[in-house]
Each structure stands twice: as C-alpha cells, then as structure tokens.
Structure 1
C-alpha cells in the first residue's frame, strides 16, 4: 500500500494539478468563475453540462481558458430510458404542486433534454483534459474516442458493483460518491438510488480494495478533516461540491447560501420531489410535504423536473427558501463563505497536518 502523500503526488502529477482537490461538476451551479478560481488555486475546475447545448459548452470552456491555464473536467449524465408517462398521476402531482406555487399546466411535464450525442460531440470538440460521467457508463464507442484523443474518463460510482463495471468499461479514475453527497445521487439505476445508500467511509475502502485504478472520494467532504480521512482510506484526491457553494464565485441565491450555513447533517434528506431523480437537499417545508405519506409520489425524471419548474422559479424570484431546491450535502454546515481559492488552499494545507 502506498502512503496517502505518495498517492496524491502521483495523481496530481498525472493530471496536472497542484493540489488533490476537485470541484464537483454541479449542473446549474458551476459558473466559470468558480471553476476558474478552483483551478487557479491548483485544484480541478468543473462544469456539469447536463442542461447545456453545444454552444453553451463551447462558451463555458472559452471563458475558462481565457482566465485560467489550469485543469478542468466536463461532466454529463448518462441518459435514463424514456420515462413511462401516467397522465392521471401527473394530474395529482400538478394539483399538489399548485399548493406551493403557480398552477401547473399539463404540458409542463413534456421536458426535452439536450441531445446526449450532441453533448458528447461538443465535449470532444473542446478537447478537455478530463470528462466525467454520472448515472451510468459512456458507450464503448465514445470511450474509444476519448482514449484516441488522450482525454481521461472519471466515472462516478455509488457501489462496489458499479466500480467494477466502470473499471471494466475503461474508466481511468473512479469518483466514489457516498450517500452524504449533496445533489443527485449518481446511481446507475434510478430505482436503486434510495434503496442502495452507502456512506462514503464504508464505500471508499471497499472500492479501493476492489479495483486497480485511482479513486477520488466525494460526499460529505467540506473541510480539511474530511479530506485527510478520505486520503487515509485510500483515495488519491477529494472532490468537494457543497463545500464551495457559499463562496462568492459560486453565485448561488443568498437564501440558499444562508440555509447551508445553518444546516445540520440531519437537516438534509434524499428526495425525488424536485426532479424525479433522487438527490440530497435541505428538508424544507415543501420537501417534507412532498415526502409525506398523503402526497403523490414524484413523477419520473425529467417529468417531475418540468412539473416543478414554475414553483422553483417563483421561489428564486421571491426568495422563499421553503420552496427552493436547496441541494446540500450532510456536511453543509462546514461550508465556508471565503473565496474559492482560499477554500482550496485551506482544505489541502489543513489536510496535510493530519497525514503522516
């Protein structure tokens, strides 16, 4: 077994990093400003392109490269099968949502996602050093194109079985996501995302023992102690999401940032109430009501996301925190409001004090 310091040094040298701190590719919450600040501090910047068209991807990368010579990753979801629609059930969901925001028209659930193949082509066109995946594995043909271009593939996994499958499919690095993580769970199968919830510090050493490629730890890491613990358990680097959201470069709604600052671990819950896909966020009044036994079950992704769209927009406009989509990991209360570069430096300098 190599020591934590040797592992991190090898990982940083391989991927051109100054420190083993990765920014999580949080779709909708990864402006270039945040990725630039993290990369310029020696970490890995990131962009989740889930909701972006090809032109948006090109523009994001151009802005990043204008202000940073650092390293970044682009991330996209592997698409789920087309959802099974149920008009009667969706009507019940719409009636429920009308109690929490504007009335929801029947067509709200007709959500058209960006074309996955076009997004993959857009990533190849901008030639990032790293692409990452979540919710599954890239098709073998795309993996071959990545390999031919020398682009590394970081695959997000949530179980040992997923880790083995990703290694076999050609992943270069595994991003091991514990159930503590904020935002959507990266499970390959949507219906298992809530049933199979494994904590990071149980999952991480099990994956490290099961595979032969480097592992990055993510989920509930928001301070130097978490980074050091992850590295001690075999990770080569730590990926941080919620821990960056209060930084000025993240540009999230002030009410969201305030809610993060006051959140205890038990104040978060995994819910399908916003998108139809399981994700961890703060248990607001809306979330608690949506999770109650009397409430209709969420529609599948992305139908539920479309149905809740107007409620989420109205909440942002009014600043009503009880109706906002407040993604948050279980360590949200440890997140700092310092500049992102200072957070990167603090995470690594502090972690080193715990490492032998």
Structure 2
C-alpha cells in the first residue's frame, strides 16, 4: 500500500513514478518500457517537430495502452542580441583556433521550440492523458485548451513561490524540482536566483504545505530510499531522470554514458554555457574554463550554437570537453533496462514503506 495514491488515481498509473522527460536523451522506447512497468511514460517534445512527436506517440500507443505524458518547454524566445553573440564568439575564439576552425563560421544550435498554437493543436489531436511544462506555463488560453482536451496539466517548480503560482493557474499537480536535479532548472519567475535555491528535501515539505494539489518529487531520487523519503516529506510520487540514463533504451552519446559511469554525482555543477539557461551537468573543460555560469553566454537556447562546431570536432576523437553531460547530483551505475529499473525502484521503496 502506497501512503498517498493521488497521483496514481489522477494519471491512471500503477506506480507513483514518473519517468522524467529528458529532451535529446531518449525516445519512445524508454517511455514504453517504463510505462509497461507501471510508471507514467513521458515523451519530451521540445526538440521535436510536431510530425516527429506524432510519430513518437503512435509508436508508444502501438506498444502499450498506458497513459502518456507529453512534455513541452514554455520559455520566451530571446530577442536577437548581436553584441552578446559577438562577445561569446570572441570568448570561444581560442578554442576554434586550437581545433583549426574558423571563428567566424556560422552554426546552428539544437532547436528547442516553446509551446505554441501548433503544439496546442497537436495536443488536441493526440489527446495525451498528461501534458507537462517546463519553464512555467503557456498563455492562459492555450492552457485552457490543453485542459479542455482532457489532459491533466503539470509543471515544474523550483521554489515555493513558483509552486503557488502554478496551482493558482490551474495545474493538477506540481513537480518540485530540487537543486540537485540533472538537466535544466525549471526557473520561470523573475528574480529567482538559482544559487539560493533549495535541495529537494528542503524544498519538498514547504511546497507540500503551500499547495493543495499533489506534489511530485524530483532531484536526487535514484533508489527506493529516496522514494520512501519523498513520501515521508509530503510527495505523492517521484520523478526519476538520471537513473534512466543508464538504461540501454536511453539515446545519449557513448561519451555521456562513460562520464555518467565514472562517478556518483559529486562531479556536477550548474552551468549556462551549453544553452544559456542554468542546467546541472558533469563538469568538463567547457564548464571549468567558460563558467560554469558565464555572463557572456547568449540567452536560451542560443549559447549552444557557437559550441556545436567544437563538440563536432572533439567528440569523434573521444573528447567530451564541449558536450553537455546532464546529470543529477546522485546517481549509481546499473545495467537494468527501463522496465526492470522501474520495478526495482518500486520494490525497494515498498519494502521500506512496509517496515514503517
């Protein structure tokens, strides 16, 4: 018996586990495996076209009748800033010369599209059971249409103020993202300083006390102990990300897998040099020498464009110095598939909860 079944009942899932949507790190195969085990399978859409997302959902639904979560970014596209772009390229100039590259060569960053009218129409077409948002929420009229489609709407909060803001605007559940979580911070309220934000087990009980909707704990949850602790602090479910990156279904690069396996999380820091927004990853040369948080990095998602040629030159030589190696502060290597990992996490947590 789970002590709080609100998320299972809200989403129609067997286990209080959400497989984190990690853009660029997995596709439908991982989500399908997690869903078959009883978790909420999630598909990250921020780096896909609508047609690619449509194909991913079709693949998912052909393999399982479990609920699906479609995840979207809600950032505001940055205005052009030629001076900042030029300063960033000048900062990278020595690396271009080191690799024999033209510092003036044009390059494009990976696309990260915010939720808009086209994505909303796709949600209405596909009717996923859950739609999750990162970096806030879409315009009220778009959110109303998402909810009218029958989807449950959830979003990430990195502070109590953000959680309250999300509940006031109609979220059905809130993901409490602790500072130890891997990947991009979900910060969206003006003036929020990532350097002062709390870890999950300081943040979680405060959010649980401040809102009435169920809370999903995210950040540093990689085994049953973290799940049991999250329930003790007010969570109704957990969101697991980094642990799934070790699964064979993850689509991360071999160098990323190697870096993950080399430590257990004390090698990470928050950085903005790869995208322009703070995100937690394994420290490498780019983070050490350019940041980890640089005032020169162009606004999200523009910072990555100028780094792309450096990664393209270094990666084939076995060098991860210019890759974004996203990881949470707590991880442990394993050889489990996503189905087996999901079941093992639930078993461990249930054993601990049963002991009281």
What's the TM-score, normalizing by structure 2? 0.91
What is the aligned partner in structure 1 of residue 187 from structure 2?
A: 187
**Displacement, 1:336?**
2.2
Q: 1:107 to 1:263 in 2, by over 3 A?
A: same
Partner of 1:346: 344
Superposed CA offset, 1:270-305 (max 9, x none): 001111111000001221111279x87322212202
Matches within 5 A, 1:57-76: 57-76=53-72
Displacement of 1:314 in angstroms is 3.5
Instruction: Quote the Cα distance in structure 1 between the aligned partners of 2:266 and 2:288.
Output: 13
Structure 1 residue runs without a partner (length 5+):
none
Residue 2 of structure 2 is aligned to residue 5 of structure 1: yes
Distance 1:344 1:172, change over 3 A: same
Where do 5+ consecutive residues of structure 2 fail to align? none
**Distance (Å, rounded) in 2 between the aligned partners of 1:320 and 1:111:** 20
Relative distance call for 1:304 and 1:217 in structure 2 (3 A) is same
1:322 aligned partner: 321
Distance 1:104 1:192 in 2: 34
Cα distance 1:191–1:304, how it changes in 2: closer, same or farther (>3 A)?
Answer: farther
Q: Which residue of the other structure, out of 36, 39, 43, is the alignment partner of 1:43?
A: 39
Distance 1:322 1:207, change over 3 A: same
Deviates more, 1:167-176 or 1:264-273: 264-273
Alpha-carbon distance in 2 for matches of 1:124, 1:187? 27
Q: 1:337 aligns with which of 335, 338, 343?
A: 335
1:78 aligns with 2:74: yes
- CA spacing shift, 1:213–1:250, aligned 2, 3 Å: same
Distance between the aligned counterparts of 1:225 and 1:209, measured in 2? 22
Asked if the contact 1:185/1:193 (under 8 Å) is kept, the reply is no
Equivalent of 1:98 in 74, 96, 99:
96
Counterpart Cα distance in 2 of 1:113 and 1:280 = 18
Q: Could you tell me whether the CA contact under 8 Å between 1:100 and 1:311 is conserved in 2?
A: no
Alpha-carbon distance, 1:91 to partner? 3.1
Which stretch of structure 1 is more off in the superposition, 302-311 or 338-347? 302-311
Are 1:312 and 2:311 an aligned pair? yes
1:288 and 2:284 matched = no
Could you say if the C-alpha distance between residues 352 and 331 of structure 1 is closer, same or farther in structure 2, counting changes exceeding 3 Å?
same
Structure 1 residues 135 and 196: CA distance shift in structure 2, 3 A: farther
Separation in structure 2 between the aligned mates of residue 348 and residue 17 of structure 1, nearest angstrom: 13
Instruction: Describe the shift of the 1:165–1:99 C-alpha distance in structure 2 as closer, same or farther (beyond 3 A).
Output: farther
**Which residue in 2 is equivalent to 1:55?**
51
Residues 156, 175 of structure 1: 8 Å contact kept? yes
How many residues align? The count is 350
SS of the residue 1:345 aligns to: helix
Give deviations 1:3-60, integer Å, cap 9, x for gaps: x8231x3321331111111111101112111001000111011111111111111011
Instruction: Tell me how far apart the structure 1 counterparts of residues 49 and 64 of structure 2 sit (CA, whole Å).
Output: 23
Per-residue CA deviations over 1:165-187 (Å, capped at 9, x if unaligned) read: 00000000000100100011000
Alpha-carbon distance in structure 2 between the residues aligned to 1:204 and 1:275: 27
Matches within 5 A, 1:137-176: 137-176=137-176
Find the aligned partners of 2:24 and 2:10 in 1 and give their Cα distance. 29
CA contact (8 A) 1:154 1:173 kept: yes
Cα distance in 1 for residues equivalent to 2:231 and 2:288: 35
* Residues 1:177 and 1:115: Cα distance change in structure 2 (over 3 Å): closer
Relative to structure 1, is the Cα distance of residues 206 and 40 closer, same or farther in structure 2, using a 3 angstrom cutoff? same
User: What's the offset of the Cα at 1:335?
Assistant: 4.1
Report the alpha carbon displacement of residue 110 of structure 1 after superposing the two structures with TM: 7.9
Q: What is the deviation of 1:312?
A: 2.9
Asked if 2 retains the 8 angstrom alpha-carbon contact of 1:208 and 1:235, the reply is yes
